[in-house]
Chain A
Amino acid sequence: MAARHLIIGGGTAGMNAIRTIREEESEKSSITLVSAERPYSRMVLPYYLDRSIAESHVFTATARVLADWGVTAHLGKRVTALDTAANTCTLDDGTAIPYDDCLIATGSSAVRAPVPGADLPGVHSFWTLDEARGVIAQIQPGSHVVMVGAGFIAFTILNSILSLGAKLTIVEIAPRILPRMIDDTGAALVQTWLKDHGVTVRTGAKVARIEDAKGKKRLKFASGDLTCDVVIMATGIKTNLEWLKGSAVKVNQGIVVDDYLRSSVPNVYAGGDVAEGRDLISQKPAVHAIEPTAQEHGRVVGANMAGKNVRYRGSLIINIVEVCHLDVASFGAWDDAGAEAASGVKADRPAYRKLLWRGDRLTGAIILGRSGDIWTVNDVGMLKGLVQSGVSLGRWKEYLKKNPFDVKPAFIASKTTSTLLPETVLGRPSKAPGETPVAV
């Protein structure tokens, strides 16, 4: 009998797993997808919000495509229980689905800060497509939007809000913005940049409560209230794992997985935001709630479900946001207090680099520069390449410490390209998205 694969979650990890199964398998298997939402890409929601793409653009697989791939899809359904002894999962409508192996890739959800009034109508999260629809309906040119939270998620939609002609105020409880993406120096540059671009940022500001105020919303602080049209709470996310309670699958910060992305139950895999897998730099288990990790996890799981034995080398934290045409990116262990570090600032451009080493390997980097800026773009990728490849920089380390803006010669002369060229996630050249075999 053909293998029965169960994919729980239709996000990036799940969809990549499905495609990879079809690419890798030698014999056609059965694939079942259970997903609370139609498969779409969360990464592109900001572009839906700013209306540069239609809603139809966000979907990563239509019913037709799923059919082509031979996927039995249970959309709009949630899994309520996983019986790893019986190899069966149960859906919220009572359906029981037996499987030979399964992938748990249920992702995360937005959480709102515990502020009185945070659940009022007109107070939004921006995480799912449904939530995006709610926000897009509310923002008009001239609207005053208050974003509570100044983390990565908030910043991904900052440009969209501004391009809709809205006035934006960012409120952050911490003393600085982007706490989990860049360091203090970088954050200060971004904050200045935002101010120069007409965005008000209030750091160290704790929202006491949110109230209705004649069709508007009022945010109460210890001092200085804000009245606005729309409130977006971007105060954090949590993994969607409550339903797994009581199962045999071991959960720490996320589902603990080995280098083949198997959980404590060998035929149960986990990927994406819910997986606690190897971090490429620290080599320790970590939860990376980022798109590239979900994609790599999904592909590795897909290959392994298809009978391959792909060992995953670990995932690298990479983040980029654009803030009013300023690119802000960080790689790897950029906040490693125990690393050797060097940095350089060109406040006028503005441009900022911070490089971190363990031994003579670059283990983390922060880079700020103008979007499309001809010398920043190359370096963004090259810094990623240096961190990813872990090449020995030898004497280039000292050079980069003195010349943090001159990455290219260090990258090339360290033969980083030689190290990187044989590297593939699945041990073979990748296939183009359109090349997934049709399974009908």
Chain B
Amino acid sequence: MTPATLTAPKQLKTTSTATTRPGGYAGNLLRVDLTRRTCRAEPWGPEMMRELLGGVGLGAMILYRETAAKGGKGNVSWDHPDNRLVLATGPLAGLPVWGTGGLTVCTIGAGTNGPTSTQANGFFGTNLKYCGYDAIMVQGQSKDWVYLYINDDVVELRDARSLVGLDTWETQGALYKETGLAGHQLSVYSIGPAGENLVRFAAIQGDYGHVASKNGCGAVMGKKRLKAVAIVKGTKSLRAADPRGVVQAAEEIAHDLRTDASARSLYEYGTLPGVVNLSKMGALPIKNYTTNLTSNVAGADMSVWEAPKLRENFDHRGHQCNACGMHHCHMSVIRHGDQKGKIVDEPEYEGWSGCGWAIGAADRDGVAWLNTQCDRACVDVNEWGWLCGWVMECQEKGYITKEQLGFELKWGDVKGSNRLLQMVSRREGFGNILAEGVKRAAEKLGGPAKECAIYIEKGATPRGHDHRSRWEEMLDTCTSSTATMETGNPVHPTEIGQPARINPFDGEQVAKYVAGLRGRRSFEDSLGICIFTSRTRLEYICRALSAATGWAFTVDDALRFGKRTAAINRATALRCGHTGAMEYPSTRYGSTPVDGPAKGQAIRAQWEKMLDTWYAEVGFDRKTGKPLPKTLKELGLEWLARDLWGKKA
């Protein structure tokens, strides 16, 4: 197999952009065509950078511009060669602000067959930027399995046939060996068997434990026969307009994260405190939403789930992302039980919930192991929880028989769950049906089984919470154009004129809140920074961005930018056939808790009203789902108004 070669940008062009290039940017987008086997650097200019920033800002625009179905209406589907897989960083990636190894994946995903924005961290963004690229745009489909190798100006599609069948950790190990590199000198994002076999909720996993998990982006990679992206830590330099200013802003953010009451526990323990905290609100998903009482899980002793105890249960070792001072990501060595001695990635809260509570498992060692098994297979741990929990409940209730499944799978059985995971990621037996994801599998089974399944009508599944007591998140998840929460949780909401607190079970207040917080997350996800390290005042983030780029970027600019990005994603989603009718939770997802702190709180009773309010607040048309011309014009998206409304605009 001859390596595809990189066509360097014309010398003249790079020189001219280099002089005007805003700080923080590498200056090139890397376009990889798997069908033609070409890799080409495309310089991009300051205006485009200012308009799209990077991350989801850039990705949303690429999807909108490049994935329309040729010669007709609609959009290409996730498995079409013309689908794009955008792997984007942002202007802060590679800079000394905490957590700036960021990767945002934008694609038409296999879960909803609509747009996606899903993030991971590690060193992808860092290594890519130091090679001279701000983002990779993958298109086409390869005939044989390949991986993309990037080392400064050497960009090649290399034979990956020997990597097929390896899980993501094995893939990274094999590529270390092949390149003779180690540690963060080589950042590898890859797919495991689940991606290769087009599992609808396959993720892209990288750098041992970082996962871009949503909407089957791993299946897109699998369809393109792109096994991995391996990026050598490049040798190029990143300039900042005001480097001292970047360092100072980074210090300010760090100080805030270390000391602010709302961020401090995250700083110390990452997302681990979520388990106990959410259980007290009824937002820890337990046994497929059948209960909200931890006592209903065999062997559950909440005292050992306090964050410090949870961490100390393992031989834990810091494993941070680029330039990050959070005590968040860790590697753990399992100390007890069957898997003693195994190295795992310390689960995030969502790992504890998806591979633990959602499937009725409270054995911390087993859960930690299963969580890494998911990462290695490249399966979204959230959807795994909903899928496996559903199968467990269905077996308990007799909707899925032992014969159908091939074995008995009871609540809390992590080894059985792993067995199922291997079947699903290889599409073996009943695993082939389950590989289609919760929604499609539930619809296939139908009847009472379908009533137990947790999903959104668009085809996605929620993040790892029980949203029946987190209504903002359910509304956000269902109305999102990116297959997962698009607006996110409130972070210093008063900074952007929103109340500090609302009544969580008042549908109207909830809908106004979700609409009011809109924009921030899409902005954060465009910067190449982690959402946990941006859990500070937006003003500080803007200060870091301004110091990096030389722009005077304000909080208002940030929100406006975020809303604009969300509007563009909405336009793509509409073109993909997403309609208002899909913005509903499944029966179980939208059900009413039968016990626990949120017992009796019925979101479905308020759902229509919540949608009405949300639509009115964000300025979208309730009937068509389209952003109203006025809304678009206010965001400076006249061109999109014309696209969506024609002459009426």
Contacts and interface: CB of A to CB of B under 8 A. Distances in A.
Interface stretch (B83-91, B180-188, B255-263): B180-188
Interface in B141-174: 151, 154, 156
Contact of A375 (B154, B156, B177, B181): B181
B180 A344 contact: yes
Q: Most chain-B Cβ atoms within 10 A of its Cβ — which of A351, A372, A375?
A: A375
A374 B179 contact: no
Nearest to B154: A348
Contacts of B35: none
Interface in B478-527: none
Nearest to A369: B180
B235 A374 contact: yes
Contacts of A349: 151
Interface in A235-261: none
Contacts of B563: none
Nearest to B178: A346
Q: Most chain-B Cβ atoms within 10 A of its Cβ — which of A372, A404, A406?
A: A406
Contacts of A409: 182
Contact of B180 (A372, A374, A406): A406
B235 A372 contact: yes
A405 interface: yes
Contact of B182 (A348, A372, A406): A406
B233 interface: yes
A267 B626 CA distance: 98
Nearest to A374: B235
A263 to B, nearest CB: 46
Contacts of B235: 372-374
A346 B233 contact: no
Given A348-B154, A406-B182, A374 B233 contact: yes
A282 B233 CA distance: 39
A243 B179 CA distance: 54
A346 B185 contact: no
Interface residues of A, number: 15
A326 to B, nearest CB: 14
A25 B177 CA distance: 54
Contacts of B154: 348
A281 B495 CA distance: 69
Q: Most chain-A Cβ atoms within 10 A of its Cβ — which of B151, B180, B235?
A: B180
B19 to A, nearest CB: 24
A406 B182 CA distance: 7
B180 A351 contact: yes
Nearest to A404: B180
A403 interface: yes
A348 B153 CA distance: 13
A372 B152 CA distance: 13
Nearest to B177: A403
Interface in A90-118: none
Interface string A318-350: 000000000000000000000000001010110
Interface string A362-377: 0000000000111100
Contacts of B179: 346
A324 to B, nearest CB: 16
A148 B156 CA distance: 38
Judged by DSSP, the binding face of B is mixed
A105 B180 CA distance: 43
A179 B179 CA distance: 28
A405 B179 CA distance: 9
Nearest to A373: B235
Contacts of A348: 154, 156
A408 B180 CA distance: 12
A349 B179 CA distance: 9
Contacts of A408: 182
Interface string A358-401: 00000000000000111100000000000000000000000000
B180 A405 contact: yes
Nearest to B130: A374
Nearest to B234: A374
Nearest to A379: B180
A203 B540 CA distance: 64
Interface in A104-136: none
A373 B185 CA distance: 11
A374 B185 contact: yes
A373 to B, nearest CB: 8
B241 to A, nearest CB: 26
Contacts of B233: 374
Contacts of B156: 348
Interface in B196-254: 233, 235
A408 to B, nearest CB: 8
A230 to B, nearest CB: 32
Nearest to B176: A406
Nearest to A348: B154
Contacts of A351: 180
A349 B180 CA distance: 10
Interface string A264-306: 0000000000000000000000000000000000000000000
A386 to B, nearest CB: 17
Contacts of A406: 180, 182
Contacts of A372: 235
Contacts of A346: 179-180
Nearest to B180: A405
A406 B177 CA distance: 9
A351 B232 CA distance: 15
Contacts of B182: 406, 408-409
Nearest to A372: B235
A372 B235 CA distance: 9
A375 B176 CA distance: 13
A408 B185 CA distance: 13
A357 B185 CA distance: 28
Contacts of A403: 177, 180
A396 B233 CA distance: 26
Contacts of B180: 344, 346, 351, 375, 403-406
Nearest to B186: A375
A406 B151 CA distance: 18
A77 to B, nearest CB: 50
Contacts of A344: 180
A403 B181 CA distance: 10
B150 to A, nearest CB: 13
A346 B158 CA distance: 14
B182 to A, nearest CB: 6
Nearest to A346: B180
A438 B71 CA distance: 86
B147 to A, nearest CB: 14
Nearest to B182: A406
A375 B179 CA distance: 11
Contacts of A373: 235
B447 to A, nearest CB: 56
Interface string A403-416: 11110110000000
B490 to A, nearest CB: 42
Contacts of A404: 180
A367 B179 CA distance: 15
A344 B178 CA distance: 10
Q: Most chain-B Cβ atoms within 10 A of its Cβ — which of A346, A374, A409?
A: A374
A402 to B, nearest CB: 9
Nearest to B233: A374
Contacts of A374: 185, 233, 235
A361 B156 CA distance: 38
A421 B629 CA distance: 72
A47 B182 CA distance: 35
Interface of A: 344, 346, 348-349, 351, 372-375, 403-406, 408-409
Given A346-B180, A348-B154, A351-B180, 14 more contacts: A344-B180, A346-B179, A348-B156, A349-B151, A373-B235, A374-B185, A375-B181, A375-B185, A404-B180, A405-B180, A405-B181, A406-B182, A408-B182, A409-B182
12 contacts: A344-B180, A346-B179, A348-B154, A348-B156, A349-B151, A373-B235, A374-B185, A374-B233, A375-B180, A403-B177, A403-B180, A406-B182
Closest 4 CB pairs of A and B: A405-B180, A346-B180, A406-B182, A375-B185
